[in-house]
Structure 1
Amino acid sequence: MREKAYFHLPGLFEFYELYRMFLPLFREHREYFYDWCEIGSIYGAPADCIWGGGRAGFGENDPEEVLELMQEYGISDRLTFSNSLLRQEHLSDRKCNALCRLLERYRKPQNGVIIYSELLLEYLKEQYPGLYFVSSTTKVLTDFTQFEEEIRRKDFRYVVPDFRLNKAFDKLNTLSQAEKDKVEFLCNECCWFGCRDRKACYETVSRKNLGENCPEHHCKAPEGERGYLFSKAMENPGFIGINDIRDIYLPMGFSNFKIEGRGLGSALILEFLLYYMTRPEYQIHVREKIYLDSMLDLF
């Protein structure tokens, strides 16, 4: 049984101000939070990175300030460089290379890159050997055999399967402990469980990050026009809640859990932090420390 759940949180550059307030609480008031949870990493990418993938157009905070904050609290930074359509000429991009050099400079703890492109992987292994690599969920690994092959690759420290493999317990339990340690489950996906366009959706984001003029991807999921709703994500067959983590995944030997949300608002990210990490009796204390006061008007 794994004793700790390590959460990999969204918004390294996107939600700097929220983490600047949350991380001191997590350190100084550890009694507010479940003793079985830790922060494994915080991931993201500045808005104008052509290597970026997953989400486009978010993340404006200064990289130096961001990394200094993470170093202060001993948290691993991850760059979301999961663009699936990179070509050789993109590898020389100055901004993305500068970010990799910056991450490699801050080595305690070790920082990483979430990645899709094999071309980029080989380039980063050679140029920035101090970084570790995470196989991105944007690969949409729904076939368990392909997922196993990905886990067995030495290139990756972690592999994020498609959320539709989250409850394949019979197959997941056949993995060795070393393989289980590499699995990072995406917990709170709101995407329709029956979606067949997930890869095309990610490719549209990749094209946008490359500056290509491409049509918008229109989600065909039932009620997809409503956008992300945490309540809807909780009804998803692939949803992993706190009881699932404590009662099923940790006893099975899994310990890494990814929370999505880079393209959402900071208020919703706070709700994720409250739900997954904060003891119910202390959630009001966290809200009060971060934003809630007696003079706050909602409307």
Structure 2
Amino acid sequence: MKAYYHLPGLFEFYEFYKVLLPLFRDHREYFYDWCEIGSIYGAPADCLWGGGRVGFGDEQATDVIKLLREYDISARLTFSNSLIREEHLTDKRCNRLCELFEKTGTQNGIIIYSDLLMDYIKQNYPEYYFVSSTTKVLTDFKDLEAELNRDEFKYVVPDFRLNKSFEKLGQLSTIQKDKVEFLCNECCSFGCTDRKECYENVSRKSLGEDCEDHICQSPQAKRGYRFSDAMNNPGFISIDDIQNTYMPMGFSNFKIEGRSLGSAIVLEFILYYMVKPEYQLIVREEIYLDSSLDLF
């Protein structure tokens, strides 16, 4: 059984993946043999249908497609805006992205919230598979089960606060387990009650609405994202958890968050989850370390 990681930064980390993917292919011995790259997800800056995080990156879609086609990796467009209305469906830029990514030789996916948008994409671009977005904030296990039972979704990303509901997770069928995609490294406060409101704020900004920023009230919010904080989150899924708990239970899909962060921290995620300890320094050296690098 393999673990499939779904990685962030389809557009914003293009240059990073140009270096990482050859390493992953040509030096497979650096990486755990039980894991693979399932997809790379994201949306370009100022993407009307975007959600979850405001789109970052302005790399040309044709370059991104060429890179992922070379390594036979699925691209996922993050079209998880929760406030899509009928008039938004004809957006030229988003439709053009759908056209470009639909037929690339590898089946690509759409991470989605809106049923309205999903129905539109299914009708006009039928080659995509769909991923139910974690921005739905499915914290009730019955809601998660209902989502898993929807035929239109190939994968469903539950809220990270269901990550350790092992008794209920263990009772899912094999078909349901194959569709669950766990968010591993969320840093958001486990007790946050504003998560849905935060995502809606991002959706409004993507639509160009004039609205104030959502201010997170979490005590650690001012620190920004720190992997060390995420590791102390009750919903955190460690590499040990993946190998010794989730995979033996029959789960194989794991999402790494990281859009809007820097490529340096994304590298740390990949080192932790995918690279054997004895090769982590070598991978760092290949990607960015050199003998003349000064930190300050």
Could you say whether these structures have the same fold, taking a TM-score greater than 0.5 normalized by the shorter chain as the test?
Answer: yes
The yes-or-no answer on 1:181 pairing with 2:178 is: yes
Alignment of 1:237-248 (within 5 A): 237-248=234-245
The equivalent of 2:156 in structure 1 is: 159
| Aligned residues of 2:185 and 2:256 also touching (Cα < 8 A) | yes
Which of 87, 94, 110 is matched with 1:96 structurally? 94
Task: Report the CA distance between 1:223 and its aligned residue.
Answer: 1.7
The yes-or-no answer on 1:198 pairing with 2:195 is: yes
Alignment of 1:57-76 (within 5 A): 57-76=55-74
Task: Report the CA distance between 1:109 and its aligned residue.
Answer: 2.0
Paired letter, 2:227: F
Which of 14, 17, 20 is matched with 1:19 structurally? 17
Paired letter, 2:9: G
The equivalent of 1:44 in structure 2 is: 42
Identity percentage of aligned residues: 69
Please list every run of 5 or more consecutive structure 2 residues that lacks an aligned counterpart in the other structure.
none
The equivalent of 1:286 in structure 2 is: 283
Task: Report the CA distance between 1:57 and its aligned residue.
Answer: 4.2
1:188 match: secondary structure: coil
Alignment of 1:117-136 (within 5 A): 117-136=114-133
The equivalent of 2:53 in structure 1 is: 55
Paired letter, 1:271: E
Paired letter, 1:76: S
1:79 match: secondary structure: strand
The equivalent of 2:270 in structure 1 is: 273
For 2:18 and 2:211, the matched residues in 1 are separated by 36
Alignment of 1:204-283 (within 5 A): 204-283=201-280
For 1:136 and 1:240, the matched residues in 2 are separated by 18
Please list every run of 5 or more consecutive structure 1 residues that lacks an aligned counterpart in the other structure.
none
Paired letter, 2:201: T
Which of 145, 150, 153 is matched with 1:148 structurally? 145
Task: Report the CA distance between 1:232 and its aligned residue.
Answer: 0.1
Count of aligned residue pairs for this structure pair: 296
For 2:153 and 2:103, the matched residues in 1 are separated by 20
Task: Report the CA distance between 1:222 and its aligned residue.
Answer: 1.5
| Aligned residues of 2:42 and 2:55 also touching (Cα < 8 A) | no
**Structure 1 outlier segments of 4+, above 2 Å:** none
For 2:77 and 2:192, the matched residues in 1 are separated by 26
